[in-house]
Structure 1
Amino acid sequence: MSSSTPAALAGVRVIEMGQLIAGPFASKTLGEFGAEVIKIEPPGAGDPLRNWRLIKNGTSVWWQVQSRNKRSLALDLRQAEGQALARQLIAEADVLVENFRPGTLEGWDMSPEQLHALNPGLVILRISGYGQTGPYRDLPGFGVVGEAMGGLRHLTAEPGRVPVRVGVSIGDTLAALHGVIGVLTALYHRKVQGGRGQVVDVALHEAVFNVMESLIPEYSAFGAVREPAGSALPGIAPSNAYPCQDGWVLVAGNGDSIFKRLMQAIGRADLAQAPDLADNAGRVARVAEIDAAIGAWTQTRTVLTVTTELAAARVPAGKVYTAKDIAEDPHYRARDMILQQTTRDGYTVEVPGIVPKLSGTPGTIRTSAPHVGDDTDAVLSEMGLSSEQIGRLREKKIIQ
């Protein structure tokens, strides 16, 4: 799980004080590209994600992905001595990642102003439900709430039916990725503009809102409220899910020339040549008819037959993948998107690969996810504490 390739973020030290998804996903991404990530988690059970979803050997297999390339320092931040140790660690760091409710750091005497007094170059990533300012800042917020406020949940439904979640914690991961962009931007600014750090303030709902495309311009210009459309792409045609004999297939025939090739492939030359269907506006006006024609063709074929025939016609189409489909797909394997990772419990598990792909400094899995406090003694020793001092901290239950 190690690599000799150069790491883009080698020498960058990240202190992670978050838990569950958003903050830890951000530092996971930084760690994959070479940053040293020291995760501070509470003694005892540690990060609650250790116990989320499916458990193997007492630990979530999700944990094996979320916390690879990290070191675990089990430190009680509720105690003053624990807070003092955290400040000492942060004083020598490049990045602090936290996703607590606003005001938590301030309550521990770790406000950005106090931390920048200790470490002027520190980049502080703060991920929260509603951001560090504004009338909602103190409200509790999880990813699902951010998805709702950001406008996404309203659209993830069939018309007239209950809004559904997309199946993963997309609000948290979108916030994490925006946080990574902010951290990298701030580190670059620090390098070229005099060494000063800054705060990166990411709100869950704003990260979701940022990917909502034309939602607000359409409302502003036309008073149009975009509504749920199931699997279709409103205003762009044809782009939908269509039934096959053994499942569903997604077909995107919404380019002008692609549409013509699609209609020829399904035996509808009349639609391919129709003057009013030569552009998107005309196709949107007749979308129900077009969808019906495509569906009539797909439902007499298997998914594999449909995707094979449309690939030959150079029409974008694909099956709806399950986990099994992904794990068995040769393209995923060819691009190292399914990797084997040996856990610290000794078993091997397949995990997602690393995105994005960098040609010169690719991301790597250097170490597996730690047990709670695996690196406590090592990190504190590196900070200059003696074995006697570490022993006293352990006796007081400040560390594990």
Structure 2
Amino acid sequence: MYGILNGMRVVEAASFVAGPSCGLHLLQLGAEVIRIDPLEGGADARRWPLASNGASLYWEGLNKGKKSVALNLKTPEGRELAQAIVAAPGADGGLFVTNQPVEGLFSHAALSRRRTDLITVRVMGWADGRAAVDYTVNCAVGVPDLTGPVEGGPVNHVLPAWDLLTGAYAAFALVAAERQRSRTGAGLEIHAPLGDMAMATLGHLGQVAEVALSGRDRERTGNVLYGAFGRDFETADGHRVMVVALTSRQWTALVAALHLGEPMAALEQEVGLSFAADEGARYRWHSRLSALMEPTIRALTRAELSARFEAAGVLFGPYRTLATALAEDPGFLPAGGLFEEVTHPGGGRYPTPGPAVRIPEARRGAAPRAPRLGEHTAEVLAGLLGLSGREIDRLNRHGIAGAAASAPGGVPSPA
């Protein structure tokens, strides 16, 4: 937790990855983030992965540090309270992140009638309002057709890349809009569609231009890095490493580490190219280059190869599972600064990350725990909307607002 955005108040009514990750990024840089949750929990409150007792580790991870206000959004009074929280006064408030539909309870038009300088960042599937999630966007833009073995059908990825990019970009857009509001006083609605993020990213990387100009899709290359030299190799003890050489210096280091100067020079003479000078040539001839490297790499253990590569400055990385990465790399553990052991409402105690950025001159604050569903309902209704204790008790009794007796996932919350 850093204090760069201290004082900023963001209200979030969002589920799944993109919207909650937007709020999480803002929170980890100091913003106060207030979640509006349905009394029974949102659509993602019980998503896998789950702890052994049923608590959603997914929900805890994306919502740690946020304040949860639980409201019955099926009632007129619950909906009124939700809108009042979004549009509550305050120079640093009026900032809203949602993935709810353009029309309805959280429409910008309805909310901005309550607060004219409201900034709404709305995560969407497709720009025209059609529903989509990361995995349906990803297949629609062709990425699975580039993924996986050379021979075979499309392969879905497991990382929700468009969700994560959209969440980060939405946070950036909100801060940019808040900066404009500080100069002009004007509110703004911003739409952040996953589909636009996916296609824009492929455009930024030159892939849209490649297809437009060539009239054909890029070939599938498996673990071979397109356009440069990069691929996986197996070591003598059965481990796999990814070896990459993007620059002339990286290529020269790789050739030196494998003691391949003479055979590489002979191949360059044969084909009339300099692999050190021409990144594209390394890709076009990657099969011949790999054939020269494989015997040496296959004769070395991973430890021997790593020592040789590290001494020469080769760009490489081992293939390993997440469990192995956590066991082998102390930089991921609490001692490395990114993670801390935190006990969450579901009862689990596990490494919890703080902000992914590092600010050398500032101390990264303690990683917060996730909230219990509705844990901050009374606090927010009293502090932000000025409701009395008697009024809050009435809302609780009538099932309009309240705090759940269990954490998301249906397990009892610790006291």
Task: State whether TM-score is above 0.5.
Answer: yes
Contact residue 354 and residue 367 of structure 2 kept, 8 A:
no
2:369 and 2:297 map into 1 onto residues whose CA distance is 44
Distance 1:172 1:162 in 2: 24
CA RMSD between the two structures: 2.2
Cα distance in 1 for partners of 2:110, 2:349 equals: 43
Query: Would the alpha carbon gap of residues 227 and 362 (structure 1) be closer, same or farther in structure 2, given more than 3 Å must change?
Result: farther
Provide the secondary structure at the position in 1 that maps to 2:184: coil
Match of 2:72 among 68, 72, 76: 76
Note if contact 1:242-1:250 (Cα within 8 Å) is conserved in structure 2.
Answer: yes
Deviation by residue 1:86-111 (Cα, 9 ceiling, x = unmatched): 111111233111112x33xx222x42
Q: Tell me, yes or no, if the aligned pair for 1:150 and 1:206 is still in contact at 8 Å.
A: no
How far apart, in 1, do the equivalents of 2:263 and 2:192 lie? 47
Instruction: Name 2:84's counterpart in structure 1.
Output: 88
Residue 338 (str. 1) matches residue 335 (str. 2) = no
Checking the alignment, whether the CA contact within 8 Å between 2:123 and 2:170 is kept in structure 1 is: yes
In the TM superposition, what is the alpha-carbon distance from 1:51 to its structure 2 partner?
4.0
Structure 1 residue ranges without an equivalent (≥5): none
1:246 partnered with 2:238: yes
The Cα shift of 1:154 comes to 2.3
CA contact (8 A) 1:26 1:177 kept: yes
Match of 1:235 among 214, 227, 236: 227
Counterpart in the other structure of 1:116: 112
Alpha-carbon separation, structure 1, partners of 2:197 and 2:219: 20
Change (3 A) 1:309 1:49: farther
**Separation of aligned partners in 2, 1:304 and 1:352:** 29
How far the C-alpha of 1:79 sits from its partner, in A, is: 2.0
Q: Deviations over 1:51-85 (max 9, x none)?
A: 42222443122333211110111112222211111
Contact 1:37 1:70 survives alignment (8 Å): yes
Q: Does the CA-based 8 Å contact 1:33-1:361 persist in structure 2?
A: no
Relative to structure 1, the CA distance from residue 204 to residue 252 in structure 2 (aligned partners, 3 Å threshold; closer, same or farther) is: same
- AA in 2 matched with 1:168: L
Distance in structure 2 (CA, Å) of the matches to 1:363 and 1:323: 24
Is residue 104 of structure 2 the alignment partner of residue 107 of structure 1? yes
Mapped to 1, the partners of 2:41 and 2:141 lie a distance apart of: 33
Query: Counterparts of 1:347 and 1:284 in 2: how far apart (Å)?
Result: 47
Aligned to 2:325: 326
Correspondence for 2:253 among 254, 257, 261: 261
Residue of structure 2 equivalent to 1:7:
3
The TM-score, its normalising length taken from structure 1, stands at 0.89
- Aligned equivalents of 1:386 and 1:323: distance in 2? 49
Q: Structure 1 residues 184 and 355, CA, compared in 2 at 3 Å: closer, same or farther?
A: same
Distance 2:68 2:310 in 1: 47
Give SS of 1:107's match: coil
Alpha-carbon shift at residue 363 of structure 1 (Å): 5.4
Secondary structure, aligned partner of 1:127:
strand
Counting only pairs closer than 5 Å after superposition, residues 195-234 of structure 1 correspond to structure 2 as 195-212=185-202, 213-234=205-226
CA spacing shift, 1:203–1:227, aligned 2, 3 Å: farther
In 2, the alpha carbon distance for the partners of 1:241 and 1:73 equals 48
Please say if residues 12 and 94 of structure 1, whose CA atoms lie closer than 8 Å, have aligned partners that are also in contact: no
C-alpha distance in structure 2 between counterparts of 1:120 and 1:291, whole Å: 62
Cα shift at 1:165: 2.6
1:166 partner letter = H
- Mapping of 1:292-371 within 5 angstroms? 292-328=291-327, 329-333=329-333, 335-345=336-346, 347-360=348-361, 364-365=365-366, 367-371=368-372
> Identity across aligned pairs (percent)?
25
Specify whether residues 59 and 304 from structure 1 end up closer, same or farther in structure 2 by C-alpha distance, changes over 3 A only.
same
Task: Indicate the SS of the match to 1:126.
Answer: strand
Equivalent AA in structure 1 for residue 94 of structure 2: D
- 1:397 is matched with which residue? 399
SS in 1 for 2:217: coil
| C-alpha distance in 2 between matches for 1:151 and 1:114 | 37
C-alpha distance in 1 between matches for 2:70 and 2:224: 48
> Which amino acid in 1 is paired with 2:394?
R
The Cα shift of 1:126 comes to 0.6
1:200: how far off?
2.1
State the Cα deviation string for residues 4-39 of structure 1 (Å, max 9, x = none): xx6011111111101122111110111111111111
Counterpart of 2:281, as a letter, is: G
| Residues 1:363 and 1:37: Cα distance change in structure 2 (over 3 Å) | farther
Q: Does 1:148 align with 2:133?
A: no
1:167 aligns with 2:158: yes
- Asked whether the 8 Å contact 1:33–1:362 carries over to 2, the reply is no
Query: Contact 1:17–1:98 at 8 Å: present in 2 too?
Result: yes
Instruction: Measure how far apart 1:360 and its partner are.
Output: 4.7
Q: Secondary structure at the match of 2:355?
A: coil
Deviates further, 357-366 or 205-214: 357-366
Deviation at 1:179, TM superposition (A): 1.0
Amino acid at match of 2:352: V
SS in 2 for 1:369: coil
Structure-1 residue corresponding to 2:184:
194
Cα drift, residue 313 of structure 1: 1.0
Q: Distance in 1 between matches of 2:348 and 2:50?
A: 15
Residues 44 and 59 in structure 2, CA contact (< 8 A), matched pair in contact too:
no
Report which stretch shifted further, 32-41 or 158-167: 158-167
* Letter in structure 1 aligned against 2:247: G
Q: Deviations 1:87-144 (Å, cap 9, x if unpaired)?
A: 11111233111112x33xx222x4212322322332211111102xx3xx2x321110
Tell me by how many angstroms 1:306 deviates.
1.8
Deviation at 1:300, TM superposition (A): 2.0
- Return the alpha-carbon distance in structure 1 between the equivalents of residues 12 and 365 of structure 2: 19
Match of 2:31 among 35, 59, 63: 35
CA offsets 1:336-363 (integer angstroms, 9 cap, x no match): 2232212235542112342122345565
